[in-house]
Structure 1
């Protein structure tokens, strides 16, 4: 980038102020001798929680104001605000299985084992003030689902800890309907007041200046002018879609693809943007009874209606012993998409595939940082058809759960979802919004990996990646808590 003005240099520049970026900035700036700059493309609403928009703080809904793209495909939704996805998600926190950590440890070393990650899980839970769903937030639908899960033989488990398949309530980063996001948790007024921490909001990262195997600056746009940030170490935390896009615009990625976009290849890393893994699911709609509609309406009138407050971790025949590869999610309340007349609600059970074999990719549409990347989730496309089989298994289990709750809602007309033809089932697929993997860690001899177990990017000195994109496989969990813990761990590794 030419004609850019240089900002003061820093020891560490963290690019991306989402969940991982907030953790990194807070932990790295604990050392008063280390200067840290956190860069976020979206707004920062300040240190006082009460000054943040009510829509962002409302944990009963999924706000869509501060996002990169409005009115887009659901799988493309990503936050553009300090705090990232913790400002727009359901405020749910669950944890994966020991099998997940075994996958990560094979890719990144012992620091990724369940035992080694345990202190960071606990630290993240404490920082985010996580709490179990209180009884008062259970609707009659959620309470019925808890009883039905028990009656179907599922074991009650702790959803935010390594364990076994079973049912339970997630942990929440919300109290009385108010979301407590990662910016509140990690960038409180005391942290923000540190003289060695700079937070730059509304700054769009264009690319890194990569020459001779080293980063010489980060080019960005601030208030319409081009600026250059310099540091000893640069940490990418722009998310599963954003981090690979920045790398590719910087000339780090698949050489042929970079050439197609007029970008000089500085480091040929074929894995950048590949290995995209997300958790697809299918919603099975049910018809609420008059009694259920009335009960939900009363709960909403009291300001205590939440669409879902429990889930079931279930295992298909493909799952290792003691692990799970499905989430069954019963929901009842206002529809996520569209609307219904007052006093009427949507009810159903979703089956989510937690450990997909299918892999998609992220690619550039152009070298322009304002152009959203091309995202191909490739749901249910694995050649062996395993994902379809696991999803059908989940839909059968969802049907069992729905049948156990038939006094409140009845199945709709048509064939059961698990018996639908492949094409129709693919046409119904939605997302759980947990993408990972596009800058995957792995051994140095694997040409499809991008970073090592400490986040160091292959072939580029002074550059780390420390967000969900580094995970080679998606955990059998909602990804917020795992990403918080991963950022805690990688921040410690970087700071030592």
Structure 2
């Protein structure tokens, strides 16, 4: 097979960029996805991270659990449907104009059906958390320091995924979607990428290859060409408590507090209520925006650990949360003496920044030193965000597609 454009990976970025590029009927676009095809829309009160078809565990050098989405829709089909932008200042130094970023964010929110949770949709823990924090709640599209109501990609209580965006374009004459195809290598000729090789040995030629396999999946393909890649993650500490009454939440995460370089996440209920995990207590997460620094070298992944400054910020955030949970506002919700802090610092499943735009790639996602190769996913995020990266990744897919 051959095409004008071959897109590797039908996750959040790959689906969106494929839909936009295939609007031109004269352009032949092939999308290759290792997992199953078709959109997958689990309800918001369920995280299908235990689905063998839709969730792929990844081995990390430190032994920490890492899961990524598989199949059309990628991680947008199994995550918490959290779709928050970063703060405006996060994007000031990025290699795109503010107008381009604003326009792409608006288009991304529209295509992903992203809206903020309303007051009457909040679960018990989210309402109590907002009351304990006090102050106004920002429900607008741009988060800022203070309380921010989460925007969520959803329709009628279920995730609206990037897979839905791509499926709406499935009948276009120039678009071919091939699920169940594992790309194992980029095919090169001199300094040019001319196609991809799949696990069966088939060569698919392309005028251009756009790798959208997620930060870790993309590194597996690009590192053999450019060498070991840096990678960043949002470290997160979890404070838990035993609730005195049953919690009810229609979604995993509905409200967050941005303060002192942290995102404090009021998860709606025990993670066990959203997954098949064993109950461990209702959690509030304290995540540091600066991110860890690790490295990806072929199949070896080390997501790093927080530095001293990051650890101290999270420690201050943990003390703030403990005081909040032991305070008057939470008295009717928290079993006395049940507040505890997880001993191990976790990860937010937010790997990013291995090929930052403006350094390793240009503003159009072209990889330096290689013709015919672009990367468009979390790999090219140029810097840390106050929020999780999902909305920004979809925004970049919209933005780069508009420049091709």
- Decide: shared fold, TM above 0.5: yes
How far does residue 474 in structure 1 lie from its aligned partner after superposition?
A: 2.9
Taking the aligned partners of 1:412 and 1:375, their CA distance within structure 2 comes to 38
How far does residue 473 in structure 1 lie from its aligned partner after superposition?
A: 2.0
- Please tell me whether residue 282 in structure 1 is matched to residue 244 in structure 2: no
How far does residue 411 in structure 1 lie from its aligned partner after superposition?
A: 6.0
| Maintained 8 Å contact 1:237/1:467 | yes
In structure 2, do the counterparts of structure 1 residues 217 and 102 end up closer, same or farther at CA, with 3 Å as the change threshold? same
1:198 aligned residue: 176
Taking the aligned partners of 1:167 and 1:349, their CA distance within structure 2 comes to 14
How far does residue 241 in structure 1 lie from its aligned partner after superposition?
A: 0.2
- Please tell me whether residue 218 in structure 1 is matched to residue 144 in structure 2: no
2:362 aligned residue: 452
| Maintained 8 Å contact 1:243/1:439 | no
Taking the aligned partners of 1:22 and 1:10, their CA distance within structure 2 comes to 17
2:350 aligned residue: 434
- Please tell me whether residue 397 in structure 1 is matched to residue 331 in structure 2: no
1:339 aligned residue: 278
Taking the aligned partners of 2:107 and 2:336, their CA distance within structure 1 comes to 43
| Maintained 8 Å contact 2:58/2:65 | no
DSSP 3-state at the match of 1:475: coil
* Cα distance per residue 1:129-155 (max 9 Å; x no partner): 1122134432222211122222xxx43
| Maintained 8 Å contact 1:307/1:333 | yes
- Aligned pairs for 1:299-314 (under 5 A) are 299=248, 305-314=250-259
Taking the aligned partners of 2:277 and 2:79, their CA distance within structure 1 comes to 18
- Of 108, 121, 146 in structure 2, the residue corresponding to residue 137 of structure 1 is 121
In structure 2, do the counterparts of structure 1 residues 476 and 227 end up closer, same or farther at CA, with 3 Å as the change threshold? same
- Please tell me whether residue 465 in structure 1 is matched to residue 379 in structure 2: no
In structure 2, do the counterparts of structure 1 residues 355 and 20 end up closer, same or farther at CA, with 3 Å as the change threshold? same
- Of 80, 92, 110 in structure 1, the residue corresponding to residue 82 of structure 2 is 92
DSSP 3-state at the match of 2:109: helix
1:422 aligned residue: none
How far does residue 454 in structure 1 lie from its aligned partner after superposition?
A: 1.6
- Of 388, 396, 399 in structure 1, the residue corresponding to residue 311 of structure 2 is 388
TM-score by length of 2: 0.91
- Of 147, 166, 179 in structure 1, the residue corresponding to residue 131 of structure 2 is 147
Taking the aligned partners of 2:170 and 2:101, their CA distance within structure 1 comes to 27
In structure 2, do the counterparts of structure 1 residues 350 and 410 end up closer, same or farther at CA, with 3 Å as the change threshold? farther
1:350 aligned residue: 285
- Of 109, 127, 137 in structure 1, the residue corresponding to residue 111 of structure 2 is 127
- Please tell me whether residue 57 in structure 1 is matched to residue 47 in structure 2: no
2:385 aligned residue: 475
In structure 2, do the counterparts of structure 1 residues 482 and 175 end up closer, same or farther at CA, with 3 Å as the change threshold? same
Give the gaps of 5 or more residues in structure 2. none
How far does residue 392 in structure 1 lie from its aligned partner after superposition?
A: 1.4
- Please tell me whether residue 360 in structure 1 is matched to residue 294 in structure 2: yes
Taking the aligned partners of 2:59 and 2:211, their CA distance within structure 1 comes to 27
How far does residue 186 in structure 1 lie from its aligned partner after superposition?
A: 3.6
DSSP 3-state at the match of 2:56: coil
Taking the aligned partners of 1:401 and 1:94, their CA distance within structure 2 comes to 24
DSSP 3-state at the match of 1:226: coil
Taking the aligned partners of 2:37 and 2:12, their CA distance within structure 1 comes to 13
1:29 aligned residue: 22
2:13 aligned residue: 20
| Maintained 8 Å contact 1:95/1:159 | no
| Maintained 8 Å contact 2:194/2:208 | no
The answer to which structure has the higher strand fraction is 2
- Of 406, 409, 416 in structure 1, the residue corresponding to residue 334 of structure 2 is 409
DSSP 3-state at the match of 1:172: strand
2:216 aligned residue: 241
Give the gaps of 5 or more residues in structure 1. 1-6, 255-271, 316-324, 365-372, 418-424, 444-449
How far does residue 493 in structure 1 lie from its aligned partner after superposition?
A: 1.3
* Cα distance per residue 1:209-258 (max 9 Å; x no partner): 1221011221013xxx321111111111111101111013xx4122xxxx
1:328 aligned residue: 264
Taking the aligned partners of 2:115 and 2:122, their CA distance within structure 1 comes to 14
DSSP 3-state at the match of 1:288: coil
- Please tell me whether residue 69 in structure 1 is matched to residue 8 in structure 2: no
How far does residue 58 in structure 1 lie from its aligned partner after superposition?
A: 2.2
Taking the aligned partners of 2:290 and 2:163, their CA distance within structure 1 comes to 29
TM-score by length of 1: 0.74
Taking the aligned partners of 1:141 and 1:307, their CA distance within structure 2 comes to 11
The answer to which structure has the higher helix fraction is 1
How far does residue 305 in structure 1 lie from its aligned partner after superposition?
A: 4.3
Taking the aligned partners of 2:232 and 2:184, their CA distance within structure 1 comes to 25
| Maintained 8 Å contact 1:86/1:181 | yes
